[in-house]
Amino acid sequence: MLATTLFLTLFALLLFSVPIGICLGLATMIVMFFVDGTPPMVLLARSVVTGADSFPLIAVPLFILAGDLMQHGGMSRRIVGFANALIGHIRGGLAYVNVLACDFFAAISGSSPATVAAIGSNMIPEMEKVGYTRKFSGALTASSGMIGVMIPPSIPFIIYGVTAEVSIGKLFLAGVIPGVLFALMFMLVARFTLRSDKIVQQSTKTFSGLTVWQSFRASIWALLVPVIILGGIYSGIFTPTEAGAVAVVYAAIVGIFVYGDINLGHLPEILAGSAKTSGTILILVIMATAFGRLITLARIPTELASFITSLSDNPIMVLLLINVLLLVIGMFMETISSIIIMTPILLPVATALGVDPIVFGVILTVNLAIGFCTPPLGVNLFVASSISKVSIEQLSRAIVPFFVGMIILLMLVTYVPAISLFLPSFW
């Protein structure tokens, strides 16, 4: 009764386009008020307070602000320039530059849509100038943007770490190799797709060591960001949360005093945009905390675990079912809310199969990252569509080869846990 009422209320509110954070809070409150046997309403208030009272969670608004400062501070433009100087001379090189630039910016922003916006606004027009179709450029950028939530620092990894109570530092390390593999896969797919495009194959530039050096010098302050953040975390100088504060201070200093792309008049607008994004995420987190406690009391995780394991006792099949479920959820739900809701439900199932919580965090994040690139809620598609001026329908068709590559690597990450655990094993 409790579980049925809870989820029917949630879906009914979603049908009326109520924001997901409000849906979670209202559904919890309605069930507590009208259904017998539920905890008193005071639990909602306590859950809201305890959900917000988390030191690791402070990293989220800090990294969001740091990413906004870096984007407005000209770091993305200089990173694109460096990547172009490095590999732009290869046949079809601008496609590889796009992917590499997304890798670099992912290590700065921690956000998938931010990576698409920052790199796409620079790369898509440049690729069109030398013969790439806007459809291909948009699809490549939307796909490469998903790397933003795998290469550390990653906001979804922080949310998962808080929800599952696992080391955020280890999660950051676990995402590095999968992130690199996805970048290589997208380059491979791009090469295969462009193999017969003579215009693109000829649109190369001459390699120049001097140009590489000059672009490296111009972008060095941006390239130092992941070194400072990750070096500080893994050397024990500061925690992931403190790393977020360091990133904000560093981005502000570089953007204002070194590059000069940010003046003091820009700061209120940047701060307001970051506050809006952070507020949305934090409302989701604190409301989902209460929702999560209620579904735990309703024994939903236990019952779902029993249902999934009843379908098959083969770990390979169970993990496949979990992946299918998460892919579908990623198509219809926002990533942060999906992590908060699904972690307490699916993590017990995964651990019962012997899956390491760190590995499951990577599996969960990769599945939901693919959701960034799949309609109807593919945020990366919407961002790439607005930049490239190509319809969502056209982009959705153009992204299919990249989607196939994503699924192949998802299976690899799922069934070869060493990919995720190799780097964390050294820390």
**pLDDT of 219 strictly over 70:** yes
| pLDDT value at residue 47 | 66
| pLDDT value at residue 205 | 65
| pLDDT value at residue 98 | 87
Residues 268, 10 contacting (CB under 8 angstroms): no
| pLDDT value at residue 140 | 92
What's the chain's average pLDDT? 82
The tokens describing 348, both together, are 């017990």
**pLDDT (tens digit, 9 = 90+) per residue, 154-169?**
888 988 998 898 988 8
**pLDDT (tens digit, 9 = 90+) per residue, 250-274?**
888 988 888 888 888 888 988 898 8
**pLDDT of 200 strictly over 70:** no
Percent of the chain with pLDDT over 70: 89
**pLDDT (tens digit, 9 = 90+) per residue, 204-214?**
667 778 888 98
Q: Which of 55-64, 126-135, 341-350, 359-368 is predicted least confidently?
A: 55-64
| pLDDT value at residue 404 | 94
> Which pLDDT band, with edges at 50, 70 and 90, does 179 fall under?
very high
**pLDDT (tens digit, 9 = 90+) per residue, 21-42?**
788 788 888 877 777 666 666 6
> Which pLDDT band, with edges at 50, 70 and 90, does 183 fall under?
very high
In this prediction, residues 403-422 reach a mean pLDDT of 95
**pLDDT of 325 strictly over 80:** yes
φ, ψ for residue 282, nearest 5 deg: -70, -35
> Tokens 């820009």 identify what position?
266
Number of other CB atoms surrounding residue 399 within 10 Å? 25
Percent of the chain with pLDDT over 90: 18
- In SS3 terms, the chain reads as CHHHHHHHHHHHHHHCCCCHHHHHHHHHHHHHHHCCCCCCCHHHHHHHHHHHCCCHHHHHHHHHHHHHHHHHCCHHHHHHHHHHHHHCCCCCHHHHHHHHHHHHHHHHHCCHHHHHHHHHHHHHHHHHHCCCCHHHHHHHHHHHHHHHHCCCCCHHHHHHHHHHCCCHHHHHHHCHHHHHHHHHHHHHHHHHHCCCCHHHHHCCCCCCHHHHHHHHHHHHHHHHHHHHHHHHHHCCCCCHHHHHHHHHHHHHHHHHHHCCCCCHHHHHHHHHHHHHHHHHHHHHHHHHHHHHHHHHHCCHHHHHHHHHHHHCCCHHHHHHHHHHHHHHHHHHCCHHHHHHHHHHHHHHHHHHCCCCHHHHHHHHHHHHHHHCCCCCCCHHHHHHHHHHCCCHHHHHHHCHHHHHHHHHHHHHHHHCCHHHHCCHHHC
Answer with the residue of higher pLDDT: 401 or 199. 401
